[in-house]
Amino acid sequence: DAGVTQSPTHLIKTRGQQVTLRCSPISGHKSVSWYQQVLGQGPQFIFQYYEKEERGRGNFPDRFSARQFPNYSSELNVNALLLGDSALYLCASSFGLGDYEQYFGPGTRLTVT
């Protein structure tokens, strides 16, 4: 079975621009979470979606938004990019909410110049 997929793999944007990152979960998984990982740190939680509804939001500004589609895929949008948004953005897939195992996709490396 295919794992979690993310696109694009790499992205270079300029400050002030907007970016959309995409994620497809493992087949049968209904929950998608987004994490940001900067160099030298563990991933930080951004959003959690389950059955197309936002079920959790981390401590990120309103420039960050996301949604989940009927096929359980998800998009993460970031507006008005800042240099500090440069990071590895990870999508994690799980069967449901709560204490289920979460499996990560390969990530999208975003560089803001």
Partner 1 sequence: QKEVEQNSGPLSVPEGAIASLNCTYSDRGSQSFFWYRQYSGKSPELIMFIYSNGDKEDGRFTAQLNKASQYVSLLIRDSQPSDSATYLCAVTATTDSWGKLQFGAGTQVVVTP
42 is a site residue for partner 1 (CB under 8 A): yes
57 is a site residue for partner 1 (CB under 8 A): yes
Q: Which single residue is written with the structure tokens 């794992």?
A: 3
How many C-beta atoms surround the C-beta of residue 104 within 10 A? 16
Measure Cα distances from 50 to 12, 44, 45, 97, 112 in Å.
29, 18, 15, 7, 29
The alpha carbon of 96 is separated from its chain's Cα centroid by a whole number of angstroms, namely 16
Interface mask toward partner 1 for 61-90; x: CB under 8 A: ---------------------------x-x
The distance of closest approach from Cβ of residue 64 to partner 1 in the complex, given in angstroms and rounded to an integer, is 14
Q: Which residues bind partner 1 (CB under 8 A)?
A: 31, 33, 35, 40-45, 48, 55-58, 88, 90, 92, 94, 97-107
